[in-house]
């Protein structure tokens, strides 16, 4: 080849490089925000009503204690109907189910806002729960299907942060609304948020569903729903000092229905909750660890509010403001959770952090009526940090060893266990406070708060033994499975 031809044959410009494919977290940024909005709306609604109970009771001309059904009906509905979400996704697709959940939740919120009596409010809260029951498990399932496993923890951290913000700012926002506006706005504010969610759902939500849906396990659903409802009734009745005969009857009924469900689930090919997943070590450790952890920490907000308002004489709005450092602590540590999991693995991180959670809970017993505000805020800030690590690690652990086809079922079981254990934790905290009240004539609420948090800290410590059952796997598995 002549030199001129050889030179002419050389490319005058370097070959264009193929553009790098964006990460799954970038491609599904809108989806992450949509799921985060659903988590925020649900978490906000679960807590915002608490500080408004006296005002709503006066408006509806009932006693504050009568408002208990309006609070428990929502959680009961969540726990009962969450197991339906996997079948609904398989039957109708994730886009329709999530959009329908937002629509039903917004409708329930509207009905709550215009309720004229307690029975109407309870019925509206049940409708809210029907919509809310699909928001969390479907959102988690879609993220598992869409986000690369190396980026899953990062995506879930973003979503969990908004859920935490909803639960932390709910009491503060509820107190501010009833003090400066009208209690009905607590529910009506969900309506425009729901409309925005419907618009985002059409744009960002992928539509996952198999070619053929499995048959729905109606018998299993009724058994599981009955057992869950009776178990929650036991917890709520204990917290309200119910009759022993009624408590015993509900407890026996819950155990009987649970045993019947276990037998039924082994014989049906498509159970509403697949107990076979409990054979996977990471799944049963995640569920059991969640149970013991939330037994200790779920009632902490209630105890702290009683301590600040009744023990220290703070106003409800100022006491709600003291929850803000918890959110700040959570946000501070969120960017580092992935690195911690990569460095230590699930076993070591959860084992060590659970012990830290227990120590922090017990440390709250050092507070007194004369404790400075900055010290209480510091305790709450540290508590937010350790709980952020705990929740994110526990919630992602359930998906580490499950197949994509099992992700929907794992998400449903994790969400159901979460709400059941939250109810048990709040009831336990109430029982402890009631038990310790009266044992000291001087500042009884401070005394009860101190001993209650110590007991709850020791209960939380039991979760460290559960997490010690994990295998000691570190960087390779964490980076690929939970990233």
Condensed to tens digits (0 to 9), the pLDDT of residues 73-92 reads 787 788 788 878 777 888 88
Q: Find all residues with CB under 8 Å of 4, minimum gap 6, and list them.
A: none
Residues 296 and 357 in one domain: yes
Domain assignment present for residue 308? The answer is: yes
Q: How far apart are CA 316 and CA 89, in angstroms?
A: 41
Full-model pTM: 0.73
Of 52-56, 191-195, 418-422, highest mean pLDDT: 191-195
C-alpha to C-alpha distance for 452 and 450, rounded to whole angstroms: 6
Q: pLDDT tier at 107 (50, 70, 90 boundaries)?
A: very high
Output the CA–CA distances (angstroms, integers) from residue 225 to 222, 320, 330, in the order listed. Answer: 5, 34, 33
pLDDT in tens, 252-273: 988 999 899 889 888 888 787 7
Task: Report the C-alpha gap between 114 and 124 in whole angstroms.
Answer: 10
Number of structural domains, the chain? 3
340 shares its domain with 262 = no
Residue 151 pLDDT greater than 80, yes or no: no
Is residue 356's pLDDT more than 90? yes
CATH of the domain at 117: 1.20.1250.20
Domain boundary among 225, 245, 271: 271
**Does residue 294 fall inside a structural domain?**
yes
Helix residue spans in 437-470 (DSSP H): 444-467
CB contact at 8 A, 443 and 322: no
Claim to verify: residue 184 and residue 305 sit in the same structural domain? no
339 and 251 within one domain = no
Contact of 115 with 393, CB cutoff 8 Å: no
- Nearest partner of 295 among 427, 181, 169, judged by Cα: 427
- Measure the CA–CA gap between 45 and 130, rounded to whole angstroms: 13
pLDDT bracket for residue 25 (50, 70, 90)? low
Q: Can you give the residue range of the structural domain that contains 384?
A: 274-483
Q: Give percent of the chain above pLDDT 70.
A: 83
**How far is the first Cα of the chain from the last one, in angstroms, to the nearest whole number?**
54
Lowest-confidence segment of 215-229, 295-309, 387-401, 446-460 by average pLDDT: 295-309
Q: Which residue matches tokens 């679960």? A: 46
Mean pLDDT of 110-131: 90
User: Which has the higher per-residue pLDDT, 111 or 143?
Assistant: 111
In a domain, 35, yes or no: yes
247 C-beta neighbours (distance < 10 Å), count: 16
Output the pLDDT for position 345.
86
Long-range Cβ pairs for the range 60-67 (8 Å, 24+): 60/115, 60/116, 60/117, 60/118, 60/121, 62/118, 65/240, 66/118, 67/118
Residue 28 and residue 72 share a domain? yes
413 and 338 together in one domain: yes
Q: How far apart are CA 477 and CA 483, in angstroms?
A: 9
Is the CB of residue 316 less than 8 Å from the CB of residue 167?
Answer: no
Q: Is residue 158 part of a domain?
A: no
Please choose, from the candidates 162, 59, 143, 132, the residue with its C-alpha nearest in 3D space to the C-alpha of residue 94: 143
Whether 171 and 293 map to the same domain: the answer is: no
Contact 306, 449 (CB under 8 A): yes
Residues 303 and 403 in one domain: yes
**Predicted local confidence at residue 382, as pLDDT:** 94
Give the model's pLDDT for residue 260: 93
Q: Does the pLDDT at position 124 exceed 50?
A: yes
How deeply is 427 buried, as exposed, middle or buried, from its count of CB atoms within 10 A (0-12, 13-18, 19+)? buried
320 belongs to a structural domain: yes
Is 466 inside a domain boundary? yes
Q: Is residue 259 part of a domain?
A: yes
> What is the distance between the alpha carbons of residues 360 and 389, in angstroms, rounded to a whole number?
14
Query: Are residues 228 and 206 part of one domain?
Result: no
* Domain co-membership, 111 together with 60: yes
Q: What is the overall mean pLDDT for the chain? A: 78
Q: Encoding tokens for residue 114?
A: 């215009």
Q: Does 478 have pLDDT greater than 50?
A: no
Q: Are residues 190 and 221 in the same domain?
A: no
Q: Cβ(235)–Cβ(291) under 8 Å?
A: no
Residue 10 falls within a domain, yes or no? no
Q: Are residues 402 and 464 in the same domain?
A: yes
Measured between alpha carbons, how far is residue 144 from residues 152, 160, 409, 427, 474 in Å?
Answer: 7, 14, 12, 32, 21
């Amino acid at each position: 080849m002549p030199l001129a031809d050889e030179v002419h044959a050389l490319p005058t410009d370097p070959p264009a490089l193929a553009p790098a494919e964006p990460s799954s977290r970038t491609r599904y940024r809108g989806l992450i925000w949509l799921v985060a909005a659903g988590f925020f709306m649900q978490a906000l609604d679960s807590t915002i009503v608490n500080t408004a109970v006296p005002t709503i009771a006066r408006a509806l001309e009932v006693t504050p204690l009568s408002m208990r059904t309006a609070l428990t009906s929502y959680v009961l509905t969540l726990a009962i109907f969450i197991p339906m979400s996997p079948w609904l996704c398989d039957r109708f697709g994730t886009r329709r189910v999530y959009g329908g959940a937002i629509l039903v939740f917004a409708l329930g919120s509207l009905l709550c806002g215009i309720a004229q009596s307690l029975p109407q409010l309870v019925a509206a809260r049940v409708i809210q729960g029907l919509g809310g029951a699909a928001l969390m498990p479907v959102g988690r399932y879609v993220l598992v299907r869409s986000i690369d496993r190396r980026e899953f923890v990062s995506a879930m951290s973003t979503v969990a942060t908004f859920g935490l913000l909803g639960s932390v700012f709910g009491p503060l926002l509820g107190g501010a609304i009833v003090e400066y506006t009208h209690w009905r706005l607590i529910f009506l504010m969900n309506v425009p948020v729901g409309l925005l969610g419907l618009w985002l759902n059409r744009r960002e939500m992928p539509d996952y569903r198999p070619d053929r849906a499995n048959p729905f396990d109606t018998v299993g659903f009724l058994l599981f729903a009955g057992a869950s409802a009776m178990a929650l009734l036991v917890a709520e009745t204990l917290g309200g000092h119910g009759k022993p005969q009624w408590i015993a009857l509900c407890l026996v009924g819950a155990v009987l229905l649970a045993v019947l469900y276990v037998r039924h689930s082994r014989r049906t090919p498509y159970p509403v909750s697949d107990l076979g997943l409990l054979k996977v070590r990471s799944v049963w450790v995640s569920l059991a660890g969640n149970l013991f952890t939330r037994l200790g920490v779920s009632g902490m907000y209630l105890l702290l509010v009683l301590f600040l308002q009744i023990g220290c004489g703070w106003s409800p709005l100022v006491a709600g403001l003291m929850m803000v450092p918890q959110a700040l602590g959570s946000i501070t540590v969120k960017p580092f959770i992935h690195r911690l999991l990569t460095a230590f693995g699930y076993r070591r991180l959860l084992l060590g952090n659970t012990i830290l959670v227990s120590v922090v809970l017990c440390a709250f017993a050092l507070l007194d009526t004369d404790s400075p505000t900055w010290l209480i805020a510091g305790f709450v800030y540290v508590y937010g940090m350790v709980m952020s690590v705990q929740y994110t690690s526990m919630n992602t652990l359930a998906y580490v060893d499950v197949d994509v086809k099992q992700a929907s079922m794992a998400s449903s079981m994790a969400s159901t266990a979460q709400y059941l254990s939250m109810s048990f934790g709040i009831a336990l905290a109430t029982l402890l406070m009631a038990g310790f009240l009266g044992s000291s004539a001087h500042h009884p609420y401070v005394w009860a708060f101190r001993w209650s948090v110590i007991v709850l800290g020791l209960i939380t410590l039991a979760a460290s033994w559960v997490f010690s059952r994990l295998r000691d796997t570190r960087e390779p598995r964490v980076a690929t499975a939970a990233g």
